[in-house]
Amino acid sequence: MKNIIVQKYGGSSVGNIQKIMNVAKKVISYKNKGFKVVVVVSALGDTTDELLELASGITDSPPERELDMLMATGEQVSVALLAMAIHKFGKEAISFTGAQVGIMTDSSHTKARIIDVNAQRIRRELEKGKIVIVAGFQGANIDQEITTLGRGGSDMTAVALAKVLKAKMCEIYTDVEGVFTTDPRVVKNARKLESLSYEEMLEMASLGAQVMQARSIEAAGKFNIPLHVRSSFSKKVGTYITKEVRAMEDVLVRGVTLNKDEAKVTVCGVPDKPGLAARIFEEIAGGNINVDMIIQNVSRKGFTDVSFTVVCGDLKKTLKLLESFVKKIKAKGVTFDKGIAKVSVVGIGMRSHSGVAAKMFKALAAKKINIGMISTSEIKISCVLRKDKGEEAVRALHKAFGLGR
Ligand code: ADP
Ligand code: ASP
Ligand code: MG
């Protein structure tokens, strides 16, 4: 089937009825241009957070299956409303849940991975000339249990559908005009990027640029799905995310990111013996928890401290797992620190240039910002610092690397 376009509208684009009507008009305009349009929608505004808030009023460790049942309702509301809005404007549309259109996932509730998409139903409806609207962020496992794809997961739904439908383009509509050198809400003169590579976008997203979900970029890169991140409130061209092009290497640092959603966990007084680090991280991996930065301190009298960061949402689970484990390995205890932020600079140009780290540390030092942890990869450098210094650090780095308008 030719001429298929997938458009994803984030929660900020469907925050109220007026915005839903705006999206309906936009979708119809593409239909009128001759496209077969598949629309993926997120829950209205902050609905997902509000649903989680409701759950936390009952318990601080809800069964993850039930969390998925709860969270998936958000998207079901928005698809139905958008379909009604499109009908009101005289066009035919049909809304579906993830399970209805065959988005099959594994069983890891709240962060499920898509295994397969059987898009026959979507194709049939497109053939009939309908606009197809799919609930983002959700699927079902082999037992028809409802699952969700991790926060920001509607991006993943859009990429997966673009792939199976062999869409011409996958457009991600949001409340900013594209991907910027840093969060435009933090730095006023942040610059919109015309294009960037999957690799850079993946790093930026993983490091806190919430404009797209990291996992969705990984998938888009793997299958070479062209993405266009743009505003649902204007017609302006946004940011294209594509394969690396040579000129991209000329730019040293492409962007600066801030992540305030991680906590530092320290296992104190770990006997300094081979194999213990492996056991600690095996224990954590067993709980399906991703660890980010890791540092092991210098050993004192045969004991050492091991620190690492996890996303705040996984903190409770991590501490619970470590509680009894620490006794088993005869470590002294576990502490945590939620008052941290991670600031990073990203760019594929770093591969072939040196001096980025020095420049970064110097810019932070000039603001008297202390660095707690450091990690690097080929195309990024991250520093952990105090949470209340996060925005100031971003502004300092954005300026030091000359990224502003
Ligand atoms: P949606 O509801 O469309 O999914 P999100 O709130 O998830 O939107 O993501 C959009 C937000 O991401 C923007 O409002 C912006 O504040 C934030 N953001 C963070 N870093 C960046 C960046 N580098 N470029 C653009 N937006 C960014
Ligand atoms: N509504 C979900 C969330 O808030 C999915 C999404 O917005 O992409 O995480
Ligand atoms: Mg989002």
Residue pLDDT, tens place only, 90-126 = 999 999 999 999 999 999 999 999 999 999 999 999 9
Give the CA distances from residue 44 to residues 94, 199, 367, in Å, rounded to whole numbers and listed in that order: 18, 30, 39
| Closest ligand to residue 14's CA | 1
Place of tokens 């062209």: 226
Has residue 50 got a pLDDT over 90?
Answer: yes
Does residue 10 have its Cβ closer than 6 Å to ligand 1?
Answer: yes
Local structure of 67: helix, strand or coil? helix
Give me 244's structure tokens. 């690396």
Neighbour count for residue 168 (Cβ, 10 Å): 14
User: CA separation (Å) from 121 to 35, 118, 128?
Assistant: 18, 8, 11
Q: Partners of 303 in the beta sheet? A: 271, 300
CA of 370 relative to ligand 3 center, distance in Å: 31
Gap from CA of 68 to ligand 2 centroid (Å) = 12
Work out the average pLDDT over 288-305. Answer: 88
Nearest to 329 by CA among 352, 306, 348: 306
Q: What is the pLDDT of residue 249?
A: 59
Q: Which of 369, 373, 375, 388 is nearest to 345 (CA)?
A: 375
Cα of 188 to ligand 1 centre, how many Å? 14
Please tell me the distance between residue 47's alpha carbon and the centre of ligand 3 in angstroms: 12
Q: Quick one: DSSP state of residue 130?
A: P
Nearest CA to ligand 2 atom 6: 152
- Report whether residue 48 contacts ligand 2, using a CB cutoff of 6 Å: yes
| CA torsion angle 251 257 262 266 (round to 10) | 50
Q: Is residue 152 lining ligand 2, measured as CB closer than 6 Å? A: yes
| DSSP character string of 294-308 | EEEPPPBTTEEEEEE
For the CA of 175, the nearest ligand: 1
Report the share of the chain in percent with pLDDT over 90.
86
Q: Ligand 2 mean position to 14 CA, how many Å?
A: 12
Tell me: pLDDT of 252 over 90.
Answer: no
H/E stretch holding 81: helix 64-88
What confidence score (pLDDT) does residue 297 get? 82
Give the DSSP H or E segment for 346: strand 340-346
Between CA 133 and CA 36 the distance in angstroms is 12
- The single-letter DSSP state of residue 192 is B
How close is the Cα of 143 to the center of ligand 1, in Å?
34
Q: Which of 23, 44, 204, 211 to mutate to test the pocket of ligand 1 (most atoms within 8 A of CB)?
A: 211
pTM listed for this prediction: 0.92
| pLDDT for position 175 | 96
Residue nearest to atom 5 of ligand 2 (CA): 152
Q: Please tell me the number of Cα atoms within 13 Å of 140 on its side-chain side.
A: 14
Q: What domains are defined for the chain?
A: 4-175 (3.40.1160.10)
Between 206 and 251, whose confidence is greater?
206
Q: Kindly state if the Cβ of 78 falls inside 6 Å of ligand 1.
A: no
pLDDT at res. 163: 97
Which ligand sits nearest to residue 154's alpha carbon? 2
d(CA 36, CA 30): 8
Burial class of residue 230 in the structure, from the number of CB atoms within 10 Å of its CB (0-12 exposed, 13-18 middle, 19+ buried)? buried
Q: Which residue has the tokens 């869409």?
A: 167
pLDDT tens, position by position, 361-405: 999 999 999 999 999 999 999 999 999 999 999 999 999 999 998
Summary mean pLDDT of the chain: 94
Q: Which of 154, 211, 216 to mutate for ligand 2's pocket (most ligand atoms within 8 Å of CB)?
A: 154
How far apart CA 111 and CA 68 sit, in angstroms, is 9
Distance, CA 330 to ligand 1 centroid (Å)?
A: 44
**180 C-alpha to ligand 1 centroid (Å):** 9
Structure letter (DSSP) for residue 144: -
Backbone angles phi, psi at 17, to 5 degrees: -60, -40
Q: Work out the angle at residue 13's Cα, subtended by the Cα atoms of residues 102 and 1, and round it to the nearest 5 degrees.
A: 40
Instruction: Tell me, using a 6 A CB cutoff, whether residue 45 lines ligand 2.
Output: no
> Average pLDDT, stretch 46-68?
96
Lowest mean pLDDT among 135-139, 170-174, 275-279, 368-372: 275-279
Q: Which atom of ligand 2 is nearest to the CA of 213?
A: 8
Chain centre distance of CA 393: 22
pLDDT band at 288 (very low <50, low <70, confident <90, very high): confident
Quick check: 127 pLDDT over 70? yes
Distance 385 CA to ligand 3 centre (A): 25
- The residue whose CA is least distant from atom 10 of ligand 1 is 211
Tokens representing 11 are 């929660």
pLDDT tens-digit series, residues 318-342: 999 998 889 888 899 999 999 999 9
Binding site membership of 174 for ligand 1 (Cβ less than 6 Å): yes
Q: Per-residue pLDDT tens for 193-227?
A: 999 999 999 999 999 999 999 999 999 999 999 99
